[in-house]
A = this chain, B = another copy of it.
């Protein structure tokens, strides 16, 4: 009988739903030596959190995260709150000896991220950051190709994370558009993801130059409580200032010598969730797009002349594609939520073994260092070095 990992989770909106599903399903598809038990869901609005707990399958609920992190029957605290709460909760959880899974971006700034890392390391608990896209099988397969040298020396990494859900000027001023809650806008939300993919696939950043830009500077105030897609203004007349970026773009030099080009925006009409990258190496290339996330486009220069071209590999084959054994036969595709199941499976394995799987808070700190260097560059107009972890 598998050991239990008793989970308490803070947050019950989009990420709360996605994480809940992962805890609910992971043991149905993975053989785990430690399995999650969904003990308590936490949120400030009792009626709402009670309903969410019932819907998502949690045994109980809490309305005060300080009580949650102190409960002796909790082993793992999962943080899916707005960004300004990550540090306080994570540090308190660590101090109570809880393992911690935290949503991205890790913190409001690099200093805060470093304090979070120090806290989990001091406490000796297992920690991870929820960069779930690493766990798409096609991304893991790309990693294997690069790590094995099959793409050769890496020359280029280019990535775009393009969305369009706030293009309407009447879209309200949700928390993700407020600097004091979100820390940054598109940058911390979307750049953070493609920075993580770059670090995973190509390695550490050396320096960056970039810009952050806000297209629509004032929006209707919002009291509906929804943080993202589909929010509507409850008081369309009253407006407030948008204090975060709508778009971010930056160039990078990697320590290994590769060049990077990055763009993230919520103003790319028709791109609902276009998270795309391409890596070019001396022996081959790969391309990926979240909207067709099961496919990896792969080019091998070693293919015979006249027979070279990008192959569309559907990364769903057991035995050869990461995680594919756990699901369905070839080309019976999986979706967005499965990336969380894979991440939670790794986390459970890490807790069982007493180690922190990647991406963990060290990755969170390094990611934050890149985000922050870009922000600095947007102010200075210069190339900025990326701080060491």
A156 vs B309: C-alpha distance in the bound complex, in angstroms? 24
* A318 interfacial contact with B, CB 8 Å: yes
Instruction: Select the stretch in A62-70, A190-198, A329-337 that faces chain B.
Output: A329-337
How many copies of the shown chain assemble into the complex? Answer: 4
A229 vs B318: C-alpha distance in the bound complex, in angstroms? 10
Query: By the criterion CB–CB under 8 Å, are A311 and B311 in contact?
Result: yes
A interface, size bucket: 35 or more
Instruction: Select the stretch in A81-89, A113-121, A207-215 that faces chain B.
Output: A207-215
Query: By the criterion CB–CB under 8 Å, are A306 and B273 in contact?
Result: no
Knowing A267-B280, A273-B332, the reply to whether A209 touches B381 (Cβ < 8 A) is yes
Distance from A308 Cβ to chain B, minimum over Cβ atoms (Å): 7
Residues of chain B within 8 A (CB-CB) of A267 are: 155-156, 280
Residues of chain B within 8 A (CB-CB) of A210 are: 251
Query: By the criterion CB–CB under 8 Å, are B21 and A211 in contact?
Result: no
Residues of chain B within 8 A (CB-CB) of A200 are: none
A211-259: which have CB < 8 Å to B? 211, 213, 215, 228-230, 247, 249-251, 253, 259
Query: By the criterion CB–CB under 8 Å, are A269 and B299 in contact?
Result: yes
A327 vs B229: C-alpha distance in the bound complex, in angstroms? 12
Residues of chain B within 8 A (CB-CB) of A364 are: none
* A362 interfacial contact with B, CB 8 Å: no
Query: By the criterion CB–CB under 8 Å, are B308 and A270 in contact?
Result: yes
Residues of chain B within 8 A (CB-CB) of A320 are: 305-306
Cross-chain contact of A158 among B160, B307, B333 (Cβ < 8 A)? B160
A41-63: which have CB < 8 Å to B? 55-57
Knowing A28-B21, A28-B24, A291-B314, the reply to whether A273 touches B309 (Cβ < 8 A) is no
Query: By the criterion CB–CB under 8 Å, are A167 and B312 in contact?
Result: no
